[in-house]
């Protein structure tokens, strides 16, 4: 029987995601994993594409935009607390903050995040210049 696990955000290790945002890996189970992403004020992520996983993102703080592209269809979605969006497998995506606060997102990844090789560089939103530097704090 699997133990009943609990993790506090303060105890989750902080690493740089392949897109340049700060990520704290939360818990994982057989069907998926969760993480908290943060992109500092005035920042734009690198564009990436996931090889085998899909993600659901839920914005909990800050404002920004998410660019997604798949099969010749591109969209830019405004991000603010309460917005939830899907990133299907093989979708190129890039996000940026707007305003003075960090953009903070909780993401569920299905199946669980397999490691760094999962994300591959992609061409991003033509109008956005990425700032892959690490967020403060």
Lowest mean pLDDT among 65-69, 81-85, 132-136: 132-136
Decide if 67 is inside a domain.
yes
Instruction: Render pLDDT for 12-68 as a digit per residue (tens, 0 to 9).
Output: 999 999 999 999 999 999 999 999 999 999 999 999 999 999 999 999 999 999 999
Write down the pLDDT at residue 137. 38
Higher pLDDT pick, 17 / 131: 17
Instruction: Render pLDDT for 108-125 as a digit per residue (tens, 0 to 9).
Output: 999 999 998 999 999 999
With CA atoms as reference, report the closest residue to 107 among 84, 91, 75.
Answer: 84
Decide if 56 is inside a domain.
yes
Report the domain count for the chain.
1
Decide if 130 is inside a domain.
no
- In this prediction the pTM is 0.91
Interval 61-88 mean pLDDT: 97
Decide if 8 is inside a domain.
no
Write down the pLDDT at residue 2. 77
Can you give the residue range of the structural domain that contains 22?
A: 14-121
Decide if 128 is inside a domain.
no
Find the CATH number of the domain harbouring 63.
2.60.120.10
Instruction: Render pLDDT for 94-107 as a digit per residue (tens, 0 to 9).
Output: 999 999 999 999 99
Decide if 3 is inside a domain.
no
Write down the pLDDT at residue 96. 97
Phi, psi of 41, rounded to the nearest 5 degrees:
-55, 140
Residue 136 scores a pLDDT above 50 = no
The beta strands (E) that lie in the chain are given as 14-16, 22-28, 33-39, 48-50, 54-61, 64-70, 73-79, 84-87, 92-97, 103-110, 119-121
Decide if 62 is inside a domain.
yes
């Amino acid at each position: 029987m699997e133990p009943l696990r609990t993790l506090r955000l303060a105890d989750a290790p902080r690493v740089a995601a392949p897109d340049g945002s700060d990520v704290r890996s939360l818990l994982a189970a057989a069907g998926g994993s969760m993480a908290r992403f943060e992109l500092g004020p005035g920042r734009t992520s690198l564009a990436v594409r996931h090889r085998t996983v899909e993600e659901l993102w839920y914005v909990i703080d800050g404002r920004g935009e998410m660019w997604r592209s798949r099969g010749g269809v591109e969209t830019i979605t405004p991000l603010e607390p309460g917005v939830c969006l899907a990133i299907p497998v093989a979708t190129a995506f890039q996000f940026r903050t707007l305003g003075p606060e960090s953009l903070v997102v909780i993401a569920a990844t299905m199946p669980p995040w397999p490691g760094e090789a999962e994300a591959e560089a992609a061409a991003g939103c033509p109008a956005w210049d990425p700032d892959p530097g690490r967020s403060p704090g």
